[in-house]
Each structure stands twice: as C-alpha cells, then as structure tokens.
Amino acid sequence: MDFSFLIPRGLDLVCTDGAPSVFGILDPSIAPLFLYYSYVPIIFVALLFGLGVFLASHASLVSRLFLWIAITFSVLIAGEILLWIAVPVYLIHFAWQLTALWHILLVVLIAHFAYVFIRDEKMPIRWQWILVILVAPVLALIPSTLNLAGFDIENCESISGMLWTYIYEVEISVALVILAFCVLEFRARIGHADRGSALILGIGICIFWVAFILSNLIGDVTLVYNINLVGPVGMVVLLATLAFLIVRYHAFNLRIFGAQALIISLFALLFAALFIEASTVRYVIAGTLLLVAALGTVLVRSVRKEIQQKEEIELQEKELEIANKQQESLLHFISHEIKGYLAKSAAAFASISDGDYGAVPAPLKTMSDAALVDVRRGVDTVMDILDASNLKKGTVAFAKKSFDLSKLLSELVTELQPTATAKGLVLEFKDSSGGGCVINGDEEKIRRHVFRNVIDNSIKYTPKGKVSVEISKHNSLIRTTIADTGVGITPEDKMNLFTEGGHGKDSLKINVHSTGYGLFIAKQITEAHGGKIWAESDGEGKGSRFIIELPAGSNAA
Amino acid sequence: MRILPESSLPSLVVGVLALFAIFASYYLTLHQNSVILHYPEISVDSDSE
C-alpha cells in the first residue's frame, strides 16, 4: 500500500523570520519566553487534573467530559505553540486551520459538561442535536478557504476567513446560555446545600471562556498575537474553580482531590519557571519548589484528615436524625392511640359516676371517681406529649383573636383557688396595669398551656406560703409575674427548665406526674405569639418567679 | 437491528466530522499544498494603490 500521501510536501517553503533549529522545522527562539512559562505548565496541569478527576471518580460521565475538555484544550494550546515556533509555511497553515476545530470542540464539550455537572443527568438528546447542528457547518468547512482565506508570507500568518465570525458568535452565544442556565439553576435551588455550586461553576466557565475568546478575538483583530498568550491562563481559573467545588461541594463525588490538584498545579508552574529564569534565580526557585512540596504534603494530609472526620460526623448526624424522626413518629403514633383509649375510658367512668347506668353503690362511685381523675391526668399527659411534638413539627394552628389577659388571669386564679387552699396556700391576683391588657392571640392555648401550666406548677412546687400572680404594663409589653415561696430553682435546673422533657434534679420527688413537657410547651406558645418567658430564683428553697411577657394587642388602650 | 444506541449518535457525528476536518486539512494543505499564498509584492502593490 502506498503511504506516500502521509509524507508532507513543501516543507521547504519557510517563513524568513526564523531559522529551523529543531527537527529542521521548529525555531523555539521565535516565541516569547512567556509562551513557555504559561502554555507548557497549563497543558501539564490541565491534563493532570483531567486525568486525576477521571481516575478518582471512576470514569463517571461528567469526569469523562472534563477529561475530553482537558485533552482538547491541551491539543489547542500545543497547536498554538506550533504556530509560534514552526517555520514551514504549510505546517503553520495546517496548525492554524485546525484551531477552528479545537475551538468548536471546546464549545460542544463545555456546554455538555456544564449541563451534566449542574443537573447531574445526561443531556437530553434534543439538546445534543442542537449543538451538533450549531457546530457541523464549522467542522465541514474547516479545510475550505472560508476558514482560512490564504497565507500572508510577509507577516508569516494565515488570513482568517468568514467562518471565524460565526465561530466567535457561537462561542459567545453558548457562553451566555451556560451563564443563564447556571443563574436559573441557582435561583431554582433555594434551600439546597449545593445551591452555590451552579453559580460558581458558571462564573468559572465564563471567566475561562471570556479570557479565552476575548484574547483570541482581540489578537486576531489587532494582529498583536502576544495578546493571545493571556487567554489560556483563564484555564487556571476554571481548574481552580473546579478544585474549590470538589473540596466545598464534593463535586465529581471527590473529597480530597482538590487540595492535591492545587498543590500539583503550583508545583508545575514553579517547575516551568525553573527552565526560564536566569541561573542565579534558579536556586531560589528550586528552594521554593522544595518548600511547596513539603508544605503541600502537610496541607494535603491535614485536609484529608479533616475531611475524613467531617464525613464521619456527617454520617453520624444523618443516622441520628433518621433515628430521631423514627422515634418521634412512633411516639406520636402511640400517644395518639393512647389518647383515644383514655378518652373512651374517661367517658365511661364519667357515665358511671354520673349514674347514667342506674344507681351506683358508694364503693363503686368512689372507685369510679378516682379512676376518672387518673384517666384525665393520663389524657393531659398524652396531650402534652402530642402538643410538644406538633409544636416542634410546626403543625399547630393558632386561632388568634383579641382578649383581655387581666380577665383571663383573674378567672384562672379563681379556678385554681380550691387547689391552692387544699394545700394551705394563699393564691392571690394583683392587677397593676391600670387596665387595657388586651393581647392578640390564641386565648385557649395561652390560658391552658402557658398561664394555667405555670400557676399550677407554682402551686405544686410550693409546700407552704403563697403564690402571687401580678399583671403590669411595660411600654408595648404586658408582663405577668408568677411568684411563689416554694422550693426555688438551682442554677443547674434553670438550664433545662424550658427544654423538651426537662426536669429539675429533684422535681420528680415533688411532682411524680410531671411529664417535663409543660414548660417546653409554654415557651413554644409564648414565643409563637412574639413573647418571652423566663424564670428567676435566688436559689434552692428561696422561691421562684416566672415572668411572661406578651406584646400588647392592637386594641390595647 | 440497531448497532449503536441513539444517545451516542450526536457524538459519533461530531467525531466523524472532526476526523474529516483533520484529514482533509492535512491532505489539502500539507500534501497538495493548495493554499492561496500572498507574497509581499502583492501587498506592496495594493498599498501603493
């Protein structure tokens, strides 16, 4: 078979600005030093990063696309280097022709990558075809004079054709679509933990894209090709963005890779400088390299350790949260069932006591009355647990209306007076507000769960002396102070007084039926009404004061 | 019988077109040397107009 068509012809036609010293076709001295300093390490870093991500994430679709981006980008940059240093005219022209190919392939790959990265799913086939339709004309016309109109021997450069206007238009349009897509995703992800990742990737891609396209465009228009050299540096921005996303948002499902990639990149950039700078500076660079390597190792190790610990904690947190939720729903279910049975029992005992089934012998009535009291207490306990659970879940509805708090407290004190008197306590109510204590809220819940609860508590925990309830006004707040001469509160008990199921150290000795939910519910309801509840005590055996502040309602005088 | 899954068709089209672009450019430019060359004389002439 004849392979002679593989052997390039006409390599003897050369540009006169260089002398081919390498392989008879290249002259590295033509290009500015900056070319090697920026292009060579960028190729190295991009390929390393692409390959690292590809291997570490087990060749997932997004990592495959990223590897293709890295390869295409590297080939493009290698082609740019060839453009600078090649001497034969036809070789330069060939490399120049293919620039259009790498540009357009990058457009397709980056658009595809952005979609898969952000949506975490395959790009719909229709979108893929749209991309193909956009780029197919360019690919088909690359060998034509529409891509490159000819070659200017005097300036040793190819003359861009009309196709490039289209290429730049496609590049800019796709960049804008990607940015819009990222912004829309960012807005749609309110409340998501990885919300920012879409926007950061969008910005990263756009900085890379803008640097890349603009430098090419400006270079082509002004014919100052040194401007083109700046473009590929944008790739460093994209790589840094990805490294950040990997560490911060676990992009590519990788954890530690980002820190390693950053260190390797820094190392590669410094390594490249080693070949460029004057010999005296080389020692400094070599020293810096060693330092970077040492510091990098320490950094990567510490990041790895930290990430592993964080992962363990996150896992435990998740497990705990699931266990908590399961326990809560079980508790909710059981409480709900028990409440039903207890309510039926209460109704049955009440009917017996009331004589609904005929005359009741005295011993049976005594037993029935006692059972009714116990069953009602049981209902209250279960209701407390259910209410606390509902308040925590936020499924409690408040039927708000305006009512007079002073009147409510006065009624409550009258209602609880027999209980206090039975214990030999004095229960008194004092209104120092001067009237007009109207508040806006759920009267029933505030009465039962807040004030009745707290006053009842004070009576329970006061063996002798008195319990006083006082209402007063402080600007726009209505303050109720429930003071007693009871057992008092120790500083330790104060810590978990208003917590769910929280008990004082010795509280169960005094109140054996305490569920520990009463004050938790009181606090939740007070806060739901924009108020505050807290306790004060001078210590054990020195009594306590519960202060409840609620905002005055709109009808307040 | 379908040889390729439908989802890989767009990539295949782009791949084939890219290969075409590379080989056609190589053949036309480096083998046939069919490039319109602009020599200094031409640009000097056009400048003087």
ipTM of model: 0.80
A142, B21: Cβ pair inside 8 Å? yes
* CATH fold of the domain at A9-253: Rhopdopsin 7-helix transmembrane proteins (1.20.1070)
Query: Chain B residues with CB inside 8 Å of A136's CB?
Result: 13-14, 17
Q: Test A129 with B10 for CB contact under 8 angstroms.
A: yes
Q: Flag whether residue A131 sits within 8 Å of chain B, measured between CB atoms.
A: yes
> Chain B within 8 Å of A32 (Cβ-Cβ)?
no
Q: What is the rounded (10 degree) CA torsion for A337, A338, A339, A342?
A: 130
Selected for mutation to probe chain B from A152, A156, A157, A223 (highest B CB count within 10 Å) is: A152
Q: From CA A522, how far away is CA A453, in angstroms rounded?
A: 7
Query: What is d(CA A499, CA A421) in angstroms, rounded to the nearest whole number?
Result: 30
pLDDT on residue B5: 63
* Residue of chain B nearest A97, judged by CA positions: B25
Q: Is the pLDDT of residue B42 over 50?
A: no
pTM flag (> 0.80): no
Per-residue burial over A12-44, b = 16 or more CB atoms within 10 Å of its CB, e = otherwise: ebbbeebebeeeebbbeebbeeebbbbbbbbbb
A116 interfaces chain B, CB cutoff of 8 Å: no
Q: Residue A329: its pLDDT value, please?
A: 80
**pLDDT above 90 as % of chain B:** 29
Contact pairs from chain A to chain B, CB under 8 Å: 90
Contacts of A128 in chain B (CB under 8 A): 7, 10-11
Residue B1 is predicted with a pLDDT of 42
Q: In this predicted structure, what is the pLDDT of residue A467?
A: 93
Query: Which chain A residues are closer than 8 Å to B47 by Cβ?
Result: none
Q: CB of B19 within 8 Å of any CB in chain A? A: no
Out of B14, B31, B35, name the one closest to residue A151 (CB). B35
Q: Which helix (H) or strand (E) holds A57?
A: none
Residue B45: pLDDT above 60?
A: no
Task: Please indicate whether, in this complex, the C-beta atoms of A90 and B29 are within 8 angstroms of each other.
Answer: yes
Mean predicted confidence (pLDDT) in B28-41: 81
Low pLDDT (below 70) residues in chain A: 1-6, 18, 193, 229, 247-263, 265-266, 269-285, 501-513, 554-557
Residue of B nearest to A99 (CA): B22
In A250-403, where does DSSP find H-type helix? Answer: 257-274, 279-353, 362-393
**What dihedral do alpha carbons A121, A127, A133, A139 form, nearest 10°?**
-20
Among residues A505, A528, A530, the alpha carbon closest in space to that of A516 is found at A505
- Kindly list the residues from chain B whose CB atom is less than 8 angstroms away from the CB atom of residue A99: none
How many Å lie between the alpha carbon of A180 and the closest alpha carbon of chain B? 24
* Contact yes or no for A93 and B29 at CB 8 A: yes
- At A56 the pLDDT is 78
Write the CATH number of the domain with boundaries A401-551: 3.30.565.10
Identify the burial level of A343 via C-beta atoms within 10 angstroms of its C-beta, where 0-12 means exposed, 13-18 middle and 19 or more buried: middle
Answer whether A142 sits within 8 Å of B31, measured CB to CB: no
Q: What is the pLDDT of residues A300-354, one digit of tens each?
A: 777 778 778 888 898 999 999 988 888 888 887 888 888 888 888 888 888 888 8
CB contact under 8 A, A136 and B17: yes
* Per-residue model confidence (pLDDT) at position A302: 73
Residues of A in Cβ contact (< 8 Å) with B11 = 128
Note whether B8 contacts A: Cβ–Cβ < 8 A: no
Out of A128, A143, A159, the one facing B21 most closely (by C-beta) is: A143
Q: State the pLDDT at residue A557.
A: 36
